[in-house]
């Protein structure tokens, strides 16, 4: 079975450039999450979607960050313009949300390692 | 607000010995779930074990068990018969019980486990 697929795996770019990270969740999952991981701050939730609708984007650090989920099988996280402090590993994860007693674990992609010079 | 605390930045264990990784949590939700993930040096996030707040018994998955003490708000991970491949970062995470907060996982800072041959 295919897991969560992220691309690119590695991205090196220069400050000021636009960066687009892509994610394909597991088929049938109805929730999608974008996390950022750094040494200093650990794993931070940026935004999550349920049934393609953004539920909470309070973790998005600045207006430079935006995320979309045009359909159930695709999501993007865009940074424009990028800055060196955006360097991190960005994880996409998906889950099947079953309601109040939600026991579904998050399945993570392999992450996209972003370096902004 | 939910909070996960992992007080051990790093741990060492002799191969074949058991090790306990600590996790305490704070939440006002009566219903919640607790998760443990493993992140090896290759970077992927691997789900290990889940414990629901209403589960009567401690969760077990192979060599992994979760020592759930609800009154103390602790959910320690016990790894029995440690193997060299267990060397990794281990993250404790929590999901709240209701509403929008029940979607996301809040992660602790992690514990780096090193297994010594």
Report the residue of chain A nearest B97, measured CA to CA: A100
CB contact under 8 A, B45 and A55: no
In this structure, what token pair is assigned to residue B72? Answer: 């103390």
Cα–Cα dist A100/B71, whole Å:
22
Q: How many residue pairs from chains A and B have C-beta atoms closer than 8 A? A: 59
Question: Which band of pLDDT confidence, cut at 50, 70 and 90, is reported for residue A61?
Answer: confident
* Other residues' Cβ atoms within 10 Å of the Cβ of residue A17: 13
Q: What is the pLDDT of residues A71-96, one digit of tens each?
A: 999 999 999 999 999 999 999 999 98
pLDDT of residue B101: 59
Chain B residues in contact with A55 (beta carbon < 8 A): 100, 103
Give me the mean pLDDT over the A39-44 stretch. 92
* Half-sphere exposure in the Cβ direction for B53 (13 Å, CA): 21
Question: Which band of pLDDT confidence, cut at 50, 70 and 90, is reported for residue A102?
Answer: low
Look at residues B92, B90, B79 and name the one whose alpha carbon lies nearest to residue B33. B92
pLDDT of residue B30: 84
Q: Mutate which of B88, B102, B105 to disrupt the A interface (most A C-beta within 10 Å)?
A: B105
pLDDT of residue B103: 73
- Return the C-alpha torsion angle B96, B99, B102, B107, nearest 10: -60
A48 near B CB under 8 A: yes
Contact A15, A82 (CB under 8 A): yes
Q: What is the pLDDT of residues B41-74, one digit of tens each?
A: 999 999 999 999 888 899 999 999 999 999 999 9
Closest CB to B50 among A45, A91, A105: A105
């Amino acid at each position: 079975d295919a897991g969560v697929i992220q691309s690119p795996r590695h991205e090196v770019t220069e400050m000021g450039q636009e960066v687009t990270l892509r994610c394909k969740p597991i088929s049938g999952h109805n929730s999608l999450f974008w996390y950022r991981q750094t040494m200093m701050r650990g794993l931070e939730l940026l935004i999550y979607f349920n049934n393609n609708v953004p539920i909470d984007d309070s973790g998005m650090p600045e207006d430079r960050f935006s995320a979309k989920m045009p359909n159930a099988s695709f999501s993007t996280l865009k940074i424009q313009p990028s800055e060196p402090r955006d360097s991190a590993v960005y994880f996409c994860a998906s889950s099947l949300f079953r309601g109040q007693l939600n026991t579904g674990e998050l399945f993570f992609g392999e992450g996209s390692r972003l370096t902004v010079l | 607000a939910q909070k996960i605390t992992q007080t051990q930045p790093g741990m060492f264990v002799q191969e074949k010995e058991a090790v306990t990784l600590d996790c305490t949590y704070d939440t006002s939700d009566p219903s919640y779930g607790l998760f443990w993930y493993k992140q090896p040096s290759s970077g992927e996030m691997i789900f290990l074990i889940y414990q629901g707040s209403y589960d009567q018994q401690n969760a077990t998955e192979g060599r992994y068990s979760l020592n759930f003490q609800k009154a103390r708000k602790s959910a320690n991970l016990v790894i029995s018969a440690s193997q060299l491949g267990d060397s990794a970062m281990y993250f404790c995470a929590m999901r709240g019980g209701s509403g929008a907060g029940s979607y996301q996982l809040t992660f602790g800072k992690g514990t780096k486990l090193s297994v010594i041959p």
